[in-house]
Structure formats: structure tokens, C-alpha cells
Amino acid sequence: MDEKIQANMMNRIALGDCLRRTAKRYPNHTALKYGERAVSFKALNEMANQFGRSLLNQNFPKGTKIAFVAPNSIEFFIAFFGIAKAGLIMVPINPLFKKEEMAFAVNDSDCEAFIFDGNLYGLIKDAFDAFKKVKTFIAFNPPSDQFPEFYEFMKNGEADEIETFIGDRDVVAIYYTGGTTSFPKGAQLTHLSLFVNINSAMIDVQFRSADKFGIALPLFHIATLTCTMFMLFTGGCIVFIPQVDPKAIMDIIEQEKLTVALLMPPLFRPILSSPEFDRHDFSSLRLVVYFGAVMPENLMHEVMDKFCPNLALAFGQTEMSPCTTLFKPEDHLAKPNSLGMSTIHCEIEVMDNNGNLLPRGETGEFVYRSPSVMKGYYGNPEYNKDAFAGGWFHSGDLGYLDEDGFLFFVDRKKDMIKTGGENVASIEVEKTIFLDPRVMEVQVVGLYHERWSEAVTAFVVPKAGETIQEEEIIGLCKEKMAGFKAPKRVIFLEELPKSPVGKVLKYKLKEQYKDLYTG
């Protein structure tokens, strides 16, 4: 072995090394389980080596970007760790992207290879001709012999460990931040940024080699990837839940005796109100990890009483790899409505629009300093300049720190509604509307209004079988808040527009209803 690589492998931080070490500690533990298929840590490590070597045999230079498009699959982890071990970069892409969106992500990140699930071919094939640099296509479940089959391709590589130089701050993945905005940006995440983030969370929330961790949320979302790494670091088992569906989730929890589950807050109400709920046994479940948003306090108590007593909220964003705060189980009752405290290796402050750090209790933008911060947006120097202004990463989230260092979210900067000269936090209105027990989901946005500049507008999804009147929601808000915060209109919908990870796409509501007050 080259002496430089020898020295590098001795003390570096590299995600592929983490899998190798876990495979040595727990070779026969099941790492991945999807239906009847199970893969041990030893087998996963060897297949990752084979896949990585097969890519290197294609003469891809270090840093080559490789797109991956598929629903959750065992092949994701084989590809991810193979790419990581080979010193290449994985670009997970949402399989529901339309032709233009997919072509944008592939071309914006300069991908030269494209791995995909052949079952998606009919949906994504139109984008292939728009790819500028892709010359290599690899498919599992291939639609035809036109494409090399994933496992056949993998046979071109040996299972021995890959010997290649990897720097701690080498990029290992580019994740696109699209979902809540119409202009996605590629966040470059490094071996170090992910390693620090994963370990920070694992210090605050303990995971065990005996854990079985159920995931239904997509791996092209960085939060899901990070949470699965808890198991891949500790020797626990990742169990795939094939559908983001209340019954499927409840079935897998009971059948597999899951000890941990990863969910999004919008799933809790449908699970609790499901007619199947009381027919399931959730006694094996010791922890539910959720991310993205604070739960209304009444819902939090219901989840803890009926579903799982221990909850952990992870909050952050893709650019931070992603977790910046953890709301630990023991703090949920003491500090309701909080995002928790900063993770071990993340420093958080609150800043005003002039770049001044604010004292505790004052509202401003959350800014971060941490080794978990991304390397930068790929190919976007102007975005990077703004994102890292003043030596802090600017989150775009508004909130405050209390006297104990707990974070409280107020709103996204862009979601603060300016109506009649007053600022209204959309999340405050949403929490108030959630007090009506007939409400399943709600989102509040500001829409153009000639008199008010922006009009507070609520979009409500009632629970199945429930009927709610507009004046009831407006009356509730006027009872609980200042009158100017109450919605001018309440629109009832059967469902809200969402990204595949369950985030409501407020910009789509704004686009669809932009003429509500002018027509």
C-alpha cells in the first residue's frame, strides 16, 4: 500500500471506515431488512467494496459525482458506501422529480453516472436525453438489457477493502435543498460534517446494537440518511417501511417489534385517529424520532400517552448535515413548544438584520457555527457569500433562545406575514387553529391584498367525517389572539401539497391562490 494512503487510513474520518468497523464488531448482525430480505453488516460491507471497486474500474477520477434515483432500497446503502469508500460523491435525487427538475439536479451537480431503479424507467426516461455529462447508466430491476444490471456490474469488483486517499473534508454527498422553494441548491456534505452530526446526536439520544429502527421516510432526504447511520454506527438494524401510510407503519412496528421509529409530525394525527390504532401492540417501541417541526402541545401529550412515551425532535437543515438542535425525551414536558438545545458540536446564536447578535429572549435569525456545516452550495458562489456572511451560517429561520439555552421557533423569514403594518408568524396562527380537535392539518400563508398588503389565509384539512365552518376557525383565532392575526379567509382542502418527505409546499399554495383576494 502507498505510504501516503497508509498514513491517511490510520487516522482519517471517512464514512466507509465506519461501516467496516461496525462489520468487524457485529459481522452477523442484520444491518438492513426489507420484507423477507435481510443483509448482514459483513455482507453489506463486502458489497459496498465490490460496488466501489467496480466504479473505480470505470476510471472515474476522485470526486466524480454519481446520481442515485430510486425509492428506499437496500441498493441505496450498497451504492452510498461503495461511492464513499471509492472517494466519489453520491447525489441522491427525488424520484418524483419531473423531467426538468431531474435534469437540473443531474446537470447542476455535473453527474457522470446515473444509478436508478428500473421500475421508474417509464417515469424518468424522458430526462435522460437532457443529461449533459452522464455516460454510464446502472439499473437494478433493469427495464431492458440496454442498461448494466446493478449486481452484475458489482461483480466487476473485489470484496477486499478499497485503498484510496480520503480527506476528512472531502465531499461525500450532494443533497438538494429543493422541496419548500422552487429553486433547489446542492449542499455539499463532507465525511467530517456527517460524522460530527451523527455522533453529536448519538451522545444526546442513546442507540443500541439491539435496536430495530423503522424508516418510512425517503433516503434522498438527509435527515433520513443521518438517522439510519445511528444503526450503521452502533450495529442496530434498519427496517424499511415500504409505504408512508398509517396502517403500514403500525403493522411493521408490531410485526418487527421495532424499538425506534422515524416519523414526521403530520403522520401522528392520522396514526392516532386510524380505526386500526387500538388493534396494534406498540409496547416494543421505546423511542420515536421526528424532525422538522414542533408538535402542538395537545398532540404531543396524546402521542406520549397512547403511542410512545419517549419522543426526540431533531431540527436543522440540509446545509448543517442536518441536525442543529435536539429536543430530548426528558425535556418534552419541561419545555413544550421548544426545539430543544443545540447539539454537542453546534454553536447557535440569534442575529438581527444588521449582523448583530441578540441577547436571550429577543427574536432574530438563527445562525450557526459547527464542523457539521456544509462545504458550500455546489457551483453557487453568490449563494455561498450570503449563506456564510459574517462567519456564521444563516439559517433563514426566525426564533429566540430562552434563558436556559432552549430554542423556540417563530417562523421562516419568508413565511412571516406582514399585514396592515403588523408582523404575524404563520406558525402561531397554525397552532391556534390546531386547538380545534376537528382539524387534521393546517397551513397559514400571506396572500396579496390591496388593503392589507398581505392577508392572513388559512388552509385547513378536516379530520375524516368532520365538518368545520370558516367562521368557526376565524372566531377561534379572534378569541385566542389579537384580531389582526386572525385569517381573513379559511380554505378547506382534502389534502395539502407536499414534498415526498411530507413537507408542505407553501409556495404551491401561494401560487395556486395568488388571486384569491383580487379576483
- 105 found inside a domain: yes
Do residue 124 and residue 157 come from a single domain? yes
Total of domains in the chain: 3
- 130 found inside a domain: yes
Return the SS3 of 412.
strand
Do residue 238 and residue 350 come from a single domain? yes
Do residue 398 and residue 444 come from a single domain? no
Cβ neighbours around 210 below 10 Å, total? 11
| pLDDT digit string, tens, across residues 180-212 | 444 578 999 999 999 999 999 999 999 999 999
- pLDDT, residue 418, reads 82
Do residue 119 and residue 200 come from a single domain? no
Cell of 441: 392539518
- pLDDT, residue 292, reads 72
- 379 found inside a domain: yes
CA–CA separation, 341 vs 503, rounded Å? 23
Pairing of strands 393-401, 364-369: antiparallel
Are residues 340 and 328 in contact, defined by beta-carbon separation less than 8 angstroms? yes
Write the CATH number for 497: 3.30.300.30
Do residue 396 and residue 463 come from a single domain? no
- 327 found inside a domain: yes
Amino acid (one-letter) located at 164: T
Return the SS3 of 355.
coil
Do residue 222 and residue 112 come from a single domain? no
- pLDDT, residue 31, reads 98
- 30 found inside a domain: no
| pLDDT digit string, tens, across residues 344-367 | 999 999 999 999 999 999 999 999
- pLDDT, residue 436, reads 95
Do residue 350 and residue 466 come from a single domain? no
Per-residue pLDDT of the chain (519 residues; tens, 9 = 90+): 899 999 999 999 999 999 999 999 999 999 999 999 999 999 999 999 999 999 999 999 999 999 999 999 999 999 999 999 999 999 999 898 878 889 999 999 999 999 999 999 999 999 999 999 999 999 999 999 999 999 999 999 999 999 999 999 999 999 998 544 445 789 999 999 999 999 999 999 999 999 999 999 999 999 999 999 999 999 999 999 999 899 999 999 999 999 999 998 878 988 999 999 999 999 999 999 998 778 888 899 999 999 999 999 999 999 999 999 999 999 999 999 999 999 999 999 999 999 999 999 999 999 999 999 999 999 989 889 999 999 999 999 999 999 999 999 887 777 889 887 777 888 889 989 999 999 999 999 999 888 788 899 999 999 999 999 999 999 999 998 888 899 999 999 999 998 766 778 888 999 999 999 986
Do residue 334 and residue 356 come from a single domain? yes
Boundary of a domain, candidates 389, 412, 435: 412
- pLDDT, residue 105, reads 93
Place of cell 447557535: 348
Do residue 401 and residue 252 come from a single domain? yes
- 29 found inside a domain: no
Do residue 362 and residue 378 come from a single domain? yes
pTM to 2 decimal places: 0.86
Write the CATH number for 257: 3.40.50.12780
Place of cell 403588523: 422
Boundary of a domain, candidates 412, 447, 479: 412
Torsion sign across C-alpha atoms 104, 110, 112, 114: negative
CA–CA separation, 172 vs 111, rounded Å? 13
Boundary of a domain, candidates 383, 412, 441: 412
Report how far Cα 137 is from the mean position of its chain's Cα atoms.
Answer: 26
- pLDDT, residue 180, reads 41
Report phi then psi at 177, rounded to 5.
-85, 5
- pLDDT, residue 182, reads 46
Do residue 76 and residue 211 come from a single domain? no
| pLDDT digit string, tens, across residues 123-176 | 999 999 999 999 999 999 999 999 999 999 999 999 999 999 999 999 999 999
Helix (DSSP H) and strand (DSSP E) numbers for the chain: 16, 25
Which residues span the domain enclosing 437? 420-512
Do residue 429 and residue 398 come from a single domain? no
- pLDDT, residue 99, reads 86
- 188 found inside a domain: no
- 240 found inside a domain: yes
